[in-house]
Amino acid sequence: MITEDQLDTLRDFRKFAPKFLNIRTKSGEPKLFTFNRAQEYLHRRLEDQKKAIGKVRAVILKGRQQGCSTYIQARFFHKVITSRGKKAFILTHDKEATKNLFGMAQRFYENLEPGFIRKPDTANAKELYFRELDSGYAVGTAGNKSVGRSQTIQLMHASEVAYWAFAEEHSKGILQAVSNEPGTEILMESTANGIGNYFHQRWLSAQTEDNEYQAIFLPWYWQDEYTYNAEGFSLTEEEQHLFELYHKNGLTNEHLAWRRLKIKEFSKDFDAGREHFNVEYPMSSLEAFKNPISNVFIVSKYVDKARKEDISSDAPLIIGVDVAISDRDRTAIIRRKGRMAFNLERFSNYNTMETVGRLKRIINEENPKKVFVDCIGVGAGVVDRLQEMGFDMVEGVNVARSANDKERFKNLRAELWSDMRDWLYSEMPVQIPDSDELHSELCSLGFKENSSGQLQIESKDDLRARGLPSPDGADALSLTFYGGFHGSPGGHIVVPKLMPHERSMFR
């Protein structure tokens, strides 16, 4: 018989897991489930979402062996044995992972106190089913395109999605088997596996405001086991930079000492080892999904620094607007006062007049000195209507036209991005919104020097061909420099030799 205390604990997963669920540690020793920092954070984010919208939808980016899969298995096992009509399905990238994850659920069941719950009516290598509850567990491997398509599922664990062989097919099959009802959960987790693939696209989509999925990042340095003795440890310039960025979030010298050892394990070449480490153990989502091209126009460390600055400015307000009305792009509006860029907002599916209405309210409330709008395509109609309404501070900018400095730049877009780059690189501190999405956009574009010696920036079409979205927010920020450069003048940019896989860019 279950006591009242046990019944209370049974209802609460946070109490239940540490008391009743037995796991196997990395050393192979059995122990009761104890939440680590990453699991605590993940639990809080999922529960907050459940309270807010009644269901859970999350894309989780993680480092290696942080206990994310263990947490999800425990969470779903608890729901299966304490609820009616809860069917959980785990889809992994290979057979061995499928076996390991399902083995966790079997271990949870086998180590419960005798009589705690009824025996499953079905118990085999791929399924646990409790007929009395009409609840159970099933597993599959993503190597099979049709796996789970006919299932009815309430709880879905999509594991190592970045390594799924048929991700697009599964998104139209097994993921559609989960209803949109309250209490349902879809948890997609993975380490990174490059950019442009299905998981990367889902991560980017989860960062937008109009998506029901939330993006959750779990940094590796939240793990106590990823530390090493730092006695006498002296930080390199790079390590000092990382410490300044992340120590408030838990990064210690002991973590950095462990990182240095791990990089050496990966490769004798430090740069190659670091690249490998950053994918397996990322500090941030941007590091995990690092742009693979060598000729990145804006280097990440300057954007990192600008995100952490806190600046006030009395300079006139300049607003940049990148207009879009298609489903794949969003309109972006950003403000800048001298060295301070702030309040980036994005919205999708606005028609031209709705965009005009939004900008009219902004102009009336914020009184900008200038509003620069990209007037290629639909932006021209926005400019015409606002000027017709008497807003003479609004000016259209055709970024495809010739640059002011025709010798140095292929077009105005390259010139504006160069001014924005010099602004970010200046010795005086600058501030930008603390946004992963804007950071990614600023560091996404490649560049080259054409046969005439002009700087040419990678086009939006070429960017999309590499699986990356349009840099709407970064383009909007670049427009704020149309009225004049605000920073130290920059010299000619040294253009690196393009790698073979980069030569098809800039068609």
What structural domains and CATH numbers belong to the chain? 4-218 (3.40.50.300), 237-288 (no CATH), 300-502 (3.30.420.240)
Residues 6+ away with beta carbon under 8 Å from 470: 324, 328, 329, 460, 463, 464
Looking at beta carbons, which pairs linking 308-312 to residues 24 or more positions away fall under 8 Å?
A: 308/245, 308/434, 309/429, 309/430, 309/431, 310/431, 311/339, 311/340, 311/429, 311/430, 311/431, 312/340
Which percentage of the chain shows pLDDT scores above 90? 40
How far, CA to CA in Å, does 322 sit from each of 15, 235, 370, 452, 477? 49, 42, 14, 29, 9
pTM of the model: 0.70
Tell me: the pLDDT tens digits for 394-415?
A: 999 999 999 999 999 999 999 9
What pLDDT does residue 130 have?
A: 81
The candidate with the shortest Cα–Cα distance to 2, out of 111, 77, 105, 112, is 112
Tell me: the pLDDT tens digits for 226-241?
A: 999 999 899 998 899 8
Regarding beta strands 318-322 and 370-374, do their DSSP bridges make them parallel or antiparallel, or are they unpaired? parallel
Reading the block at residue 318, the tokens are 């300049």
Please give the DSSP secondary-structure letter assigned to residue 58.
E
Task: Specify the 3-state DSSP secondary structure of 148.
Answer: coil
User: How far apart are alpha carbons 289 and 437 in whole angstroms?
Assistant: 12
Backbone torsion region of residue 506, taken as left when φ is above 0, otherwise alpha when ψ lies between -120 and 50, otherwise beta? left
Tell me: the pLDDT tens digits for 171-227?
A: 777 777 788 899 999 999 998 887 778 898 889 889 876 789 999 999 999 999 999
* Other beta carbons less than 10 A from residue 418's beta carbon: 25
What pLDDT does residue 367 have?
A: 94
Length of the chain: 507
* Other beta carbons less than 10 A from residue 289's beta carbon: 27
Tell me: the pLDDT tens digits for 256-291?
A: 999 999 999 988 888 778 878 887 898 888 888 876
- The number of C-alpha atoms within 13 Å of 288 and in the hemisphere containing its C-beta is 25
Residues 6+ away with beta carbon under 8 Å from 199: 59, 161, 162, 164, 167, 188, 190, 192, 193
Tell me: the pLDDT tens digits for 100-131?
A: 877 777 788 777 777 677 777 777 767 777 88
Query: What stretches of 188-332 show up as alpha helix (H) in DSSP?
Result: 198-206, 237-246, 253-266, 270-280, 285-288, 300-308
The candidate with the shortest Cα–Cα distance to 474, out of 443, 500, 502, is 443
The one-letter amino acid code at 434 reads D
User: How far apart are alpha carbons 167 and 92 in whole angstroms?
Assistant: 11
